[in-house]
Amino acid sequence: MATEDDDKLNTLIAHRGSIVARARIARELDDDRLQIAAPHSAEAKEELDRRRHDRLLEARQPAPAKVERELEQKFGILYSPRQIQSDFDQWVLEAAQVAGYSVGVIFFDIDDFKKFNTEFTESVVDSTIFSEVQRLIVELCLHRGAAYRYGGEEVVILLPNRSLAETAIFAQKVCGMIAGTNFHIQEKPVTMTVSVGVAAWPLHGATLKTVLERANREERLSKEKGKNRVSIAPAKQDAERGSHPRFRIIDLGTLGGRLSRASAINSTGHVVGVSSTRDNKLQRAFYHDGVRIHDLGALGPTGSQAHDINDSYAIVGTTSTPASPQRGGPPYNGFVWKQGRMLDLGTLGGNESTAQGVNDAGLIVGQSYKSDGTCAAFIYVQGIMLGLPPLNAAKPFSFAAAINAGSVIVGSAMASDGEYHAVIWEDGHIRDLGTSGGTTSAALDINATSHIVGRAGSQSGKQRAFLYASGEMVELGSLGNEDSIANAINNAGVVVGRSWVAPGEHHAFLFIDGNMLDLNDLVDSLDGFTLTEATGVNDRLEIVGSGYLAGEPRAFKLVLREES
């Protein structure tokens, strides 16, 4: 029997219903997954309690509503720009009662808006997509803050009692939701993106005018960097000292054996990967809940590996099956693990498959062999594995690595020259992302704003980490003029991966603010670790990966150092 949550997920998967309804559903599901996880996870319970406390405070201290608030006249959806100052003043007045109170300020502008007006006329655009965008923003801001039409297609959002980091995370949700929404003008589907700037009072100024100007400056910077992104004003002390983030390291341990490797991390800091068991004869998928490591088991007599985890704590990976030999070896099938149960995803007709990525709607991607011996990327939806279209029908080999909130999929596929190229699957179609001057490439991750990372052959003959955004593939460089690979990207555009520092030796890297940094140099005390690869990063800038500890591979987690 279908549950209420099944209906909600079906609506999100099928992109049915109004934009406002989908935003509401996404928020409800976010709370639902915390309620499910709370009895089993101290972090989930703490986050749920924090949200309830925040909502109680908001209920006790609502936005200024006892006086009539002025809506913008043309559309009557967002508040008037004249309302910004009075709301800001009221929230600043309340700040005097609360230590550490902050007001987040978001300034965004719709990218390339004139082209829509030219193609469809301003009146048509205003009555369709611009109105829908405004309704979406109002729904996203509900119980969080207020949104104002500032002028033209510019919008300002104020978030009372939100830090700069919290405001930045909300700005990423705005950016990702708009980029991932299918709008329609006269029944024609269109996509839209926004460039966003983030600042906060009193961190970036004592007056609304000063903070707005700072947020506007960051919005223009987002435009200059390629649009469809968020730029965050640095804290004054960071700008003055030009410092990079500093981390402390957490040893994630093992399942009793000698080695472990972390693969991915979700937004609450929970980690998955693979570890050897006590006798060191098996390697099993593990889940680390922030307190201890758990063996997820396997469906067959031998091993399993976990590759990804979403914010509903669904985990995907590869497992041996009952048909696997006792001493190891194929067949291995993709699995999804949720609510304590591992499910075999099956295949596309061949003898093996693997699940690589899962988004928060529960859509799973990976690759599977087919009965004809070819290997094809797949998406798994509501119990059905569906093959994705190949890049080259004559050589239909492809692999899917990741899927974002907008159901955009990335991976690699064989091109007509017989080489594998990075590709993107969107709206049922595949597109070649090309290379960086070499012959091969592979896309490994995609964030909510469809920024893609991976590796690509360069003109120098090296394989280099890349970032693909706004139709352009950009090399990220390396730590030692050798090869590099970008494994993951968060919604703020922070990238992690590995880079060779010398032949045969590679280190984990962090790419932030245009710089590739050796993560070994950013940890105060490595406690015997050498960090060799970073495989996941979330929006809290928590990083997971693998390194060597006492000569053995070991999974690690990095968390931002608390300033004294």
What type of residue is 164?
Answer: L
Torsion-angle region of residue 410: left (phi > 0), alpha (psi -120 to 50) or beta?
Answer: beta
Q: 443 to each of 402, 467, 492, how far by Cα in Å?
A: 8, 9, 18
Give the pLDDT score at 460. 77
Residues 103 and 235 in one domain: yes
Point out which residues pair with 231 in neighbouring strands.
Answer: 197
Residues 97 and 25 in one domain: no
Instruction: State the angle between helix axes of 131-141 and 164-179 in degrees (0 to 180), rounded to the nearest 10.
Output: 140
Q: 423 to each of 20, 287, 296, 506, how far by Cα in Å?
A: 31, 30, 31, 26
Out of 42, 60, 78, a domain closes at 60
Residues 203 and 229 in one domain: yes
> Which residues constitute the domain of residue 108?
61-241
Q: Is the dihedral of CA 334, 302, 40, 553 positive or negative?
A: negative
In this structure, what CATH number is given to the domain that contains residue 211?
Answer: 3.30.70.270
Residues 49 and 94 in one domain: no
User: Which pair of structure tokens corresponds to residue 20?
Assistant: 């406002």
In a domain, 404, yes or no: no
DSSP secondary structure of 157-203: EEEET--HHHHHHHHHHHHHHHHT--EEETTEEE---EEEEEEEETT
Residues 128 and 102 in one domain: yes
C-alpha span between 336 and 309 (Å, rounded): 10
Q: Which of 433, 384, 436 is nearest to 413 (CA)?
A: 433
Residues 199 and 229 in one domain: yes
Residues 20 and 167 in one domain: no
Note down pLDDT in tens along the chain; length 564 residues. 344 444 444 443 343 333 334 444 445 545 555 555 555 556 656 666 666 555 545 444 444 444 578 888 888 899 999 999 999 988 887 765 565 678 999 999 999 888 888 888 888 888 888 888 999 999 889 888 999 999 888 999 999 988 887 788 788 888 888 888 888 888 888 888 999 999 999 888 888 999 999 999 999 998 988 888 888 887 654 444 445 789 999 999 999 999 999 999 999 999 999 999 998 888 999 999 999 999 999 999 889 999 999 999 999 999 999 886 665 566 899 999 998 999 999 999 999 999 999 999 999 999 999 999 999 999 999 999 999 999 999 999 999 999 999 999 999 999 999 999 999 999 889 999 999 889 999 999 999 889 999 999 987 788 999 999 878 888 888 898 789 999 999 988 899 999 999 888 999 999 987 778 999 999 989 989 999 999 999 989 999 999 999 999 999 999 998 643
In a domain, 229, yes or no: yes
Residues 217 and 72 in one domain: yes
In a domain, 159, yes or no: yes
In a domain, 31, yes or no: yes
In a domain, 227, yes or no: yes
User: Which pair of structure tokens corresponds to residue 504?
Assistant: 């045969």
What type of residue is 44?
Answer: A
Residues 41 and 78 in one domain: no
Give the pLDDT score at 498. 97
Give the pLDDT score at 329. 60
* Contact present, 467 and 489 (Cβ < 8 Å): yes
C-alpha span between 204 and 235 (Å, rounded): 7
Out of 241, 268, 296, a domain closes at 241
Cβ neighbour number for residue 405 with a 10 Å cutoff: 23
Give the pLDDT score at 25. 46
Overall number of domains in the chain: 2
Q: Is the pTM of this model over 0.85?
A: no
Residues 33 and 71 in one domain: no
Give the pLDDT score at 474. 84
Residues 17 and 106 in one domain: no
C-alpha span between 148 and 94 (Å, rounded): 20
In a domain, 169, yes or no: yes
Out of 187, 215, 241, a domain closes at 241
In a domain, 182, yes or no: yes
- Cis, peptide link before residue 301, omega less than 30° from 0: no
In a domain, 191, yes or no: yes
Cβ neighbour number for residue 48 with a 10 Å cutoff: 17
Residues 69 and 56 in one domain: no
Point out which residues pair with 190 in neighbouring strands.
Answer: 183
